[in-house]
Structure 1
Amino acid sequence: MRRGTLTALRLETSTGRRLDRTVVPGFNKPYLVGSNLTSGLIAVTERGKEDEGGACVKVLGPDWNTIRVLGLNANVGPVLSCPWGVCIDMEGNVLVADWSKEHTVLIYPPQGKGRPLITQGLSSPRGLALLPDGQLVVADSMHNCIKIFQYN
């Protein structure tokens, strides 16, 4: 986080021995990562600068280059204030748990404008995961529970 980099390790599956290491620069306080193995997309939440804002999600392609930055421009979708959990579905939609005043889960489609997906019933959404049967799992830290929503 302090160096503003993301380090990806490729490991041998049977032994865990490191085969490759890639350092990706260009981040400001990278925090959490979500990926989609099918598309090769990776989403990284960034905390931003405390006095300047700038919290966002950077979406990287399989070549580690940034292809989208979400949450900074209201013309592209909701502006993020405190992104935590992040995941990417099979269609390339990026879902973000934003621990803002509203405590929401947002969705940013590959094309078009992002929007709120879940706006009620959460208090401190922190982690996200997608289940194979079309459900979205949200870790709700202030309620000390896991909540499951029908997503697809």
Structure 2
Amino acid sequence: MDLKKQDVVKNKYMSTKHKVKGIAPQDNTKADLFPLDYFYYALENVKKAQESLMIVGQDDGCQILLVNLDMLITICKKYPITAASSIYLLNRKKLKETFDAWWERNHKKIPAKYRNGIKENADTLFEELFAIRSWAKSE
């Protein structure tokens, strides 16, 4: 099959001239935006989890925020430039306040043998989240 230049469909992951900028998997123009897609997906899930923590009538001691936050932080550590360019989209202070309010309402619903460990893990995740540097001047 002989494709001419005008026959090639372009999307946001393709450019007319492919460039390799380094040795990492994302260091080329056809792959460099993929981490951003995963970042936005994880960010969206953190925001949805935050919303679920605000529904007081549905409190049952379970929540999905921490696992989503862990995934977002993992992406941010692996791709710090992606994180720095977009972490401002998450109001980290409000997220922490939401979790703390949820914790006050729910910590007794969590089995006592897990309570301290879960709180320690949450505190560690929030420390890591607040340590992520942002390019935004004010956040």
User: Normalization by structure 1: what TM-score?
Assistant: 0.24
Q: Which has the higher strand share?
A: 1
User: Normalization by structure 2: what TM-score?
Assistant: 0.25
